[in-house]
Structure 1
Amino acid sequence: MGQPPDVVSAGAVVFRPGRQVLLVHRGRYDDWSFPKGKLDRGEHRTAAAVRELEEETGLRVRLGVPLGDQRYPVKDRMKTVHYWTGRVVGDDDVSRYALNDEIDGVAWVDVADARERLSYDYDRGTLDEALDRRRRTLPLVVLRHAKARARRTWRSADPLRPLLAAGREQADRLGPVLAAYDVRRVVSSDSIRCAETVAPYVRASGARLRLTDGLSEEAATEASVGRSVDRLLARMDAHGAGGLLCTHRPVLPRVFERLGVDDPALDPGEMLVVHLRKGTVRSTERHLVP
């Protein structure tokens, strides 16, 4: 018989000014570690990291750059933990958190003391990596629209071509992933398949939406794409929050060229998260919402 699949969890190493890092104490194991937890069935790992962190600390967090995975044995199986750096969105006071049987301690700990308090060597290694990547970044999510009707089956104007039922389901599942990056500004092609892709998240989050033909297959030019990217980046910097740009496969190479990153040839419903600091790309990560 083959090895059973890994137990999969996700979490974040969260920093705040003053070189402090967020740790939790688990009474059952009498250990100090980073907030993390198992993925729910069908849950994306980014969404799980943010959900678990809020459940274990009471804080809402925006994910930053990704960190290396941890993998270690637990009983008769292996466990994989996906980690990111993180920043609190809003109040970072943990004193009001209702301690419970699972988490009986939540604390902001000076980085100098965190290595001693952490219970496991693999967490100390993750802390060292996170310290090298702790500087604040802003995430720009570049998204290819979800699965749409095939061109050959569509008899009307192409900008009116809608999502398939599977594409609408993809669009619904995008919400928790985009929320994990605190996306508050959305710029999208005005073609129906792009507008339908971002609509569920915009409705649920209240993010500001701008539709433009400058990102459509029919009207996009190098200049119009550049303006859309630059304007979105400026809004992100002004408001200190994440952004989303949604467009089509033929337009994406111009977007990535403007950002100075290689074109990853995204599939429908797939995204590249570009983490920027002062206009410079610090890291990228790729996620597909099936």
Structure 2
Amino acid sequence: MPQRDVLAAGAVVFRPGKRVLLVHRPKYDDWSFPKGKVDPGEHVTAAAVREVAEETGVHVRLGPPLSAQRYPNGDRMKSVAYWTGRAVGDDDVSGYLVNAEIDDVRWVDFDEAVELLTYPHDVDTLREAARRRRKTHALVVLRHGQARSRKAWRKDDRLRPLMAAGRLQAQHLVPVLAAYDVTRVVSSSSTRCVESVAPYADVTGWKLELEDALSEEAATAHEVLRVVDDLVHGDEGAVLCSHRPVLPAVFDALGLRDPDLEPGSMLVAHVRKGAVVATEIQSVR
């Protein structure tokens, strides 16, 4: 039976002036992007943010996704998921403590990066990233986690809670939303949606904004458009949590095809100047 790929994640991080963040690994004497293996049970988005922080000291938020790399790694194959990235806060790397794994970290101009990168596949990734480097913010459209059965629930459906599996999904969602620097948490007022995003709001301290207009009982196309329009034309990363029957109206407001999300899954829309420029699907278990 073929062995599974080694899974890794990283980011091509830009700063103003089309400067990109590179690292040097003395073990291989190569220049590359900050990246590393995904830990067991870790979400790939969280791994990308963690690896950048560990290898450069810079905390980033993820932007549009890039094509994955896949290449031989000893007797196995290695798959690396990449995103564009931007620093959240200080991007100074002069104080980074070099070590046996990373002995140099630099912001370099795009043309210098093309010359400095060791591997041709990294140059290809850089050129792709350069086309997607402009600043965006994420709008995460989330279908609530796995909830108690509608048929078995005898009370007001708005009070129907998550099952244990759904509560676990809500916990696993925390580092994923953090990877996109979500600072607005907007949810249907129904319990199963609130419980899906409450752990993230609790951990981060961001206000949990409840919207009856995103509930199954009160949603209208006009009100959904109002909520979506507010988030699209803002400049903050945001999550919008709603229900399967309401999500088609959300995606219609975004001008996107409905991806028919499973419970606990999300579409991440990367928005620039009020327009969606890239999307990706993520899920948590």
The TM-score range, normalised by the shorter chain, is over 0.9
Q: Secondary structure at the match of 1:152?
A: coil
What's the TM-score, normalizing by structure 1?
Answer: 0.97
Rounded Cα–Cα distance in structure 1 between residues aligned with 2:2 and 2:194 = 43
1:62-83 C-alpha deviation (Å, 9 max, x unpaired): 1000000100001111100000
* Residue 285 in structure 1 maps to residue 280 in structure 2: yes
Letter of the 1:192 counterpart: T
Aligned to 2:133: 134
Aligned to 2:262: 267
Letter of the 1:264 counterpart: P
Aligned to 1:104: 103
Rounded Cα–Cα distance in structure 1 between residues aligned with 2:205 and 2:231 = 17
Aligned to 2:194: 195
Moved over 6 A (4+): none
Identity rate, percent: 64
Letter of the 1:250 counterpart: P
Aligned to 2:21: 22
Q: Secondary structure at the match of 2:223?
A: helix
Letter of the 1:286 counterpart: I
Aligned to 1:66: 65
1:67-119 C-alpha deviation (Å, 9 max, x unpaired): 00100001111100000000000010001111111011100011111011101
| Structure 2, gaps ≥5 residues long | none
CA RMSD of aligned residues (A): 0.8
Q: Secondary structure at the match of 1:64?
A: strand
Counterparts of residues 179-218 of structure 1 (less than 5 Å): 179-218=178-217
Aligned to 1:88: 87
Q: Secondary structure at the match of 1:62?
A: strand
Rounded Cα–Cα distance in structure 2 between residues aligned with 1:259 and 1:224 = 14
Rounded Cα–Cα distance in structure 1 between residues aligned with 2:232 and 2:111 = 34
Letter of the 2:15 counterpart: R
Q: Secondary structure at the match of 2:199?
A: helix
Count, aligned residues: 285
Letter of the 1:272 counterpart: L
Q: Secondary structure at the match of 2:151?
A: helix
Aligned to 1:122: 121
* Residue 48 in structure 1 maps to residue 43 in structure 2: no
Letter of the 1:65 counterpart: P
1:233-261 C-alpha deviation (Å, 9 max, x unpaired): 34x32xxx310100000000000000000
Cα distance, 1:212 vs. partner?
A: 1.3
* Residue 249 in structure 1 maps to residue 214 in structure 2: no
Letter of the 1:208 counterpart: K
Task: Tell me if structure 2 keeps the 8 A contact 1:10–1:46.
Answer: yes
1:187-206 C-alpha deviation (Å, 9 max, x unpaired): 10000000000000001112
Rounded Cα–Cα distance in structure 2 between residues aligned with 1:205 and 1:33 = 32
* Residue 171 in structure 1 maps to residue 166 in structure 2: no
Cα distance, 1:231 vs. partner?
A: 2.0
Cα distance, 1:208 vs. partner?
A: 2.4
Task: Tell me if structure 1 keeps the 8 A contact 2:232–2:271.
Answer: no
Aligned to 2:31: 32
Task: Tell me if structure 2 keeps the 8 A contact 1:187–1:232.
Answer: no
Rounded Cα–Cα distance in structure 1 between residues aligned with 2:103 and 2:71 = 24
1:159-201 C-alpha deviation (Å, 9 max, x unpaired): 0000001100000000000000000001100000000000000
Task: Tell me if structure 1 keeps the 8 A contact 2:186–2:209.
Answer: yes
Rounded Cα–Cα distance in structure 2 between residues aligned with 1:256 and 1:19 = 32
Task: Tell me if structure 2 keeps the 8 A contact 1:194–1:247.
Answer: yes
